[in-house]
Structure 1
């Protein structure tokens, strides 16, 4: 699970996150940074969070350094950058921070420091130009638009339903068997690459790797057949919709963005004909769109930063409940006007025309004056219905709050968690560490067969849900801790003396913090680790650090991959969950039934 509220659907930006707020230039040049056109920087306002206003440029970096080298260097100075982007053959970088204090601290500490023979130069950097304004300016200076290619003309001529399907569900017209084959091939490539990387970082494993690669198509471990999603359509239980001008010209439209902001497009298409959105969510969107069109408030315009209605998040459950979260920028409206709007919204969906829309939990989220990139920090007010919704999974009951993480495909999540439980090889003496536990789904699903479960999660709301969920299911052998995994996990590990200890980690897309990996490596009594990766490429560094040879930085015997499997939680897209079982080198085990896994032999 994730330490963020959710993993958005393809083509959907994160909840409440301005697309430019954390993105550094992909093709930035010094000339662009020095642009003097004020219209290119209209988004730099005090009431919008963007790390671009806390940005520095570091010059004279050592040659041949990479992103991780610079990140580790800054971490040694106790600096926590928000984003890093290297340029000029890695000789200078733009680095943004979350606040002015961190930025100024970086300038004071790093400027004049010597690193690998180079004296670093740090200065303030101008923010990145607004992508859509830059595009407008370029189009204005280039004269008449260039002739479209045949492919572009063909795309423009396609119905909007096809265009949006190509954006949010790019495999919608590919047979499901072929989708699974493509995803499995992606996982094969990941495991082949991991085999090479492990060999480069742990020479002692080379004889073992040579044997593994010979048996398993150059992979580091056996890969079991991909497990399909029980349902291939209408499977998403959470979707985040933008509110903008419709691509069909209709104002106040709730849907998915047809293009990317940096590509110059803000238009959206409704989800009515998309295959992955549930019928219940489509009904909520339809009713909410009708409501906002009855109001006098305009949609939020990301070009001018004016307007109000910004986003609608919809969560649905198999138990027939639906949560709607309306993101609204108050601009200069007073509290009386906002109260009147919330009252009318409540009336519309509880007594008025929208009462049959299926909404059982209605929230109003105030989007202005953001001081944090985290959407859960936004004021979130219940205006109608129950405060939470409830779902059933593997015969268990779960409460879900607005910002709590819950896998977006409930049926496939049951397949995933069943696999995790099988691979963890648990018994009544086992202690399970559930890292990035969200609402506690994995730990709770395993609790009845083990001695103890300890969950760790960043989101306070999710932790509260997890505690309630444990009680709902009559469990007393489970506890939850709120905090950053890199802070909490080492403390918990150091105090555990359990002989049969297993960790299950299901982190956000970026993977686990390096401090968590180092703590896992140090805890030699932790012999088995089940890693669930929603983005295997992003988690690659985690896998490598778990398996690399011991060093001054990495203490404890390494792990090595024993078996792997993909579970399809995202039909019609190329996304897939990868499950890898890793075991400590020298740990001797034979999984029950020997279902595809090889017996671990003492270390190489």
Structure 2
């Protein structure tokens, strides 16, 4: 069992584990399986890791297919890194996600839990993302079938699509993506066709050459559309010709921008997008709140479920109109503004200054006069003088990144001792770790999972904590 290139035969898949991997048990060993397996499948697994009590590998042959399996709706399934659960009916996806929350809070958190509410599934299970980022590459990923058909001479093709998992320099050329509404595919395919016809070079991440780098699209439920084309260096004549062609060919674009990125990495947060057409931002709505979203703004990627998530957060906060609410990791202020009408005062704190700038604008745009926002680290900002000025919090809302809260922030929360904490998490595993640390002072009163990303294993979870 500990040899290399071991293949386990006729392994029955029984469930799912963390990160959406299939789960099986054989001869007392736990086996984690990649490769699009469904509970009920019987597969052969080639092991990549083989330890005493567990192993990890990929399904290389399917003997029996689960009766629960459904046909994937995307032609790129199995090669693209997204939507890995297309072969699983949506109601079963929700069951496994709900169980994932239960398992993490029970096994990692080890705290006393109330009955966990049924997961809130999404009404829209495709075309639900308001933001997507595509990558240009002169090294298109070729499938095994394409490689076999090519023979000895491997063709080099351009691609605009998504990075292939574990291959940083290969991009899968995407014709139709079902994650975002039109005109997303029309914009992407229009640029590809024009670039090929006019011999515009696609970026080579290894050699740091080429011109076209990334395309970032925002398509909002308000109907507004923003496209940001990222190029490696300025070429005014080529750039204007391409951008004019996009505007002429694709109806409905309300903001068209370009960003010059001469760096080795793809991040644009330290760059300055330039407006070519339109107002340079889009507006999205949650209930009747309107939010300005610029090319570098963070906003909940699924607008429909983002609104559901915020409603749960507001409900858990139990506001009566007088409370001082501290909104930690507030980003562009969306949660704080969403709960503001039921609060006495909202104090938002966020490390990224540009996000705070957007939060201030969003508050003004929505006539929210009882919210103030501060840029900086909570650990540094929140002290006795800050409390003297703003008041101690009655409710703390915290929405940290996937890594969860820093241990020093957890210590700060215990020091502050607010009566209620509403913890919004995109990673129940790190949330469970933090709940265990907070358990010395807080009890878990309510738990509500929310599915933000259908056809993936990702899950959001909201927890209400009350001071003992």
- Counterparts in 2 of 1:307 and 1:360: CA distance versus 1, 3 Å: same
In the other structure, the counterpart of 1:367 is 261
What SS does structure 1 have at the residue aligned with 2:420?
strand
Q: CA contact under 8 A between 2:77 and 2:83: conserved in structure 1? A: no
In the other structure, the counterpart of 1:439 is 332
Q: Distance in 2 between matches of 1:446 and 1:297?
A: 48
**Distance apart, 1:343 and its partner CA:** 2.2
Aligned pair partner of 2:228 in 307, 317, 325? 325
What SS does structure 2 have at the residue aligned with 1:520?
helix
Q: CA contact under 8 A between 1:309 and 1:328: conserved in structure 2? A: yes
- Counterparts in 2 of 1:159 and 1:496: CA distance versus 1, 3 Å: closer
Q: CA contact under 8 A between 1:412 and 1:569: conserved in structure 2? A: yes
In the other structure, the counterpart of 1:404 is 297
Aligned pair partner of 2:461 in 568, 571, 578? 578
Q: CA contact under 8 A between 1:409 and 1:569: conserved in structure 2? A: yes
Question: Deviation string for 1:132-156 (max 9, x for gaps)?
Answer: xxxxxxxxxxxxxxxx9657xxxxx
Greater strand content: 2
In the other structure, the counterpart of 1:299 is 202
Q: In the alignment, is residue 386 of structure 1 matched against residue 290 of structure 2? A: no
- Counterparts in 2 of 1:495 and 1:348: CA distance versus 1, 3 Å: farther
Q: Structure 2: which 5+ runs fail to align?
A: 1-18, 21-58, 63-71, 143-154
TM-score by length of 1: 0.60
Q: Distance in 1 between matches of 2:74 and 2:220?
A: 28
Question: Deviation string for 1:181-201 (max 9, x for gaps)?
Answer: 0100101101211443x5xxx
**Distance apart, 1:169 and its partner CA:** 0.4
In the other structure, the counterpart of 2:373 is 480
What SS does structure 2 have at the residue aligned with 1:292?
helix
**Distance apart, 1:221 and its partner CA:** 3.0
Q: Distance in 2 between matches of 1:339 and 1:546?
A: 55
Q: In the alignment, is residue 161 of structure 1 matched against residue 161 of structure 2? A: no
What SS does structure 2 have at the residue aligned with 1:300?
coil
Q: CA contact under 8 A between 1:164 and 1:269: conserved in structure 2? A: no
Q: Distance in 2 between matches of 1:513 and 1:489?
A: 15
**Distance apart, 1:312 and its partner CA:** 1.3
Q: Structure 1: which 5+ runs fail to align?
A: 1-9, 12-147, 152-157, 199-208, 210-219, 549-557, 586-604
Q: In the alignment, is residue 270 of structure 1 matched against residue 171 of structure 2? A: no
Q: Distance in 2 between matches of 1:405 and 1:536?
A: 21
In the other structure, the counterpart of 1:461 is 354
Note the 1:337-356 alignment, pairs <5 A. Answer: 338-350=235-247, 352=248, 354-356=249-251
Greater helix content: 1
Aligned residues: 390
**Distance apart, 1:252 and its partner CA:** 3.4
In the other structure, the counterpart of 1:452 is 345
Q: Distance in 2 between matches of 1:271 and 1:505?
A: 39
Q: Distance in 2 between matches of 1:420 and 1:183?
A: 19
What SS does structure 2 have at the residue aligned with 1:279?
coil
- Counterparts in 2 of 1:492 and 1:187: CA distance versus 1, 3 Å: farther
**Which stretches of structure 1, 4 residues or longer, exceed 6 Å deviation after superposition?**
none
Superposition CA RMSD, Å: 2.8
Q: Distance in 2 between matches of 1:185 and 1:492?
A: 44
Q: Distance in 1 between matches of 2:84 and 2:232?
A: 32
**Distance apart, 1:282 and its partner CA:** 1.9
TM-score by length of 2: 0.76
